[in-house]
């Protein structure tokens, strides 16, 4: 057989290295998250921020659903740069309130329309517009630094136009903001051990959970605890590296979460309030 025919048969020229082409990843699920967070600045003024992101995910994302949906008594490693729950940081980006999504699970960001509107009983409270943060398509409040002065109102509803394979959601009620996790002990900035037992005043509201942020020698571990007034790492499922070396509790917030499902489409709505 001529050399040219041999080259054609194996797809590469003699002496060259065959090029490996990664197959395109097909989406099998669609995930959206909308987070509203409220903190208090050093002058005692309440400040709220809103961010949203919508993505297509691979089939492997099913195994990570617990974390993406803020499942109870589950912990995961998160980038150390995202916002510390319950902590006011004027320099923090509004997108830092969103849970990170592993690159290997991501197929693409999804455009769900030109404006997402959140309305309170008094009228429009926030309009989220598409924005590119680094390489991600996110939706942010159309104000300076995506900041809204004042507390999160009760009775918020959201309207998402939808786009591509992500359907529209009309007049979906968000959970009402809850008071901070009172009497939380041991408090923020205390040392953390694997068997440290946390206690606070429980809240029976549907969808309520308490988020703890822990920093150790290798980074940050965030946990979502059932709002029953008690939690320990011993009782939690941990994705990624377990507690490593000396560790401290760096932040706590109470979150109210509602999850909407339509087939293989999920929408996670979260309202977070700081612990005083």
Residue reference for tokens 């979150």: 255
Write the pLDDT tens digit of every residue in 101-128: 777 888 999 999 999 999 999 999 999 9
Question: Could you tell me which residues come within 8 angstroms of residue 133 by beta carbon, excluding any fewer than 6 positions away?
Answer: 93, 95, 140
pLDDT value of residue 42? 80
Q: pLDDT (tens digit, 9 = 90+) per residue, 221-269? A: 999 999 999 999 998 988 878 889 999 999 898 999 999 999 999 999 9
Q: Where exactly are the structural domains of the chain?
A: 29-274
Query: Would you list the DSSP string of 205-239?
Result: -TTEEEEEEEEETTEEEEEEEESSSEE-GGGSEEE
What stretches of 41-135 adopt beta strand conformation (E)?
A: 46-57, 74-78, 106-109, 116-120, 123-133
Q: What is the pLDDT along the chain (276 residues), one digit of tens a residue?
A: 444 444 444 444 444 444 443 445 678 889 999 999 888 878 888 888 899 999 999 888 766 676 677 778 889 888 877 777 766 565 556 566 677 777 788 899 999 999 999 999 999 999 999 988 667 899 998 766 677 889 999 999 999 999 988 999 999 999 999 988 778 999 989 999 999 999 999 999 989 999 999 999 999 999 999 999 999 999 898 887 888 999 999 989 899 999 999 999 999 999 988 755
Name the DSSP class of 246.
S
Which residues lie below 8 Å from residue 123, measured CB to CB, with a gap of 6+?
A: none
- The backbone torsions φ and ψ at residue 70, rounded to the nearest 5 degrees and listed phi first, read 55, 50
**Residues 6 or more apart in contact with residue 15 via CB below 8 angstroms:** none
Quote the CA–CA distance of 72 and 66 in Å, as a whole number.
8
């Amino acid at each position: 057989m001529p050399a040219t025919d041999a080259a054609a048969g194996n797809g590469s020229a003699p002496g060259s290295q065959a090029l490996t082409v990664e197959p395109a990843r097909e989406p099998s699920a669609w995930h959206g998250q909308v987070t509203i967070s409220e903190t208090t600045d050093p002058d005692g003024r309440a400040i709220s921020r809103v961010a949203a992101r919508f993505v297509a995910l691979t089939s492997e994302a099913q195994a990570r659903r617990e974390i993406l949906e803020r499942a109870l008594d589950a912990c995961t490693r998160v980038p150390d740069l995202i916002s510390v729950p319950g902590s006011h940081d004027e320099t923090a980006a509004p997108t830092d309130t969103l849970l990170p999504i592993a690159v290997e699970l991501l197929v693409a960001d999804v455009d769900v329309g030109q404006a997402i509107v959140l309305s309170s009983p008094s009228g429009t409270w926030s309009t989220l517009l598409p924005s590119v943060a680094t390489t991600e398509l996110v939706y942010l409040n159309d104000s300076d630094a995506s900041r809204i002065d004042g507390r999160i109102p009760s009775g918020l509803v959201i309207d998402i136009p939808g786009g591509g394979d992500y359907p529209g959601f009309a007049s979906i009620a968000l959970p009402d903001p809850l008071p901070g996790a009172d009497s939380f002990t041991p408090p923020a900035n205390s040392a953390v051990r694997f068997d440290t037992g946390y206690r606070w005043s429980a809240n029976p509201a549907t969808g309520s959970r308490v988020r703890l942020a822990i920093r150790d020698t290798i980074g940050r571990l965030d946990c979502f605890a059932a709002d029953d007034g008690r939690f320990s790492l011993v009782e939690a499922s941990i994705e990624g590296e377990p507690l490593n070396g000396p560790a401290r509790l760096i932040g706590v917030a109470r979150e109210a979460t509602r999850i909407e499902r339509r087939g293989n489409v999920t929408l996670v709505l979260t309202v977070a309030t700081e612990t005083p």
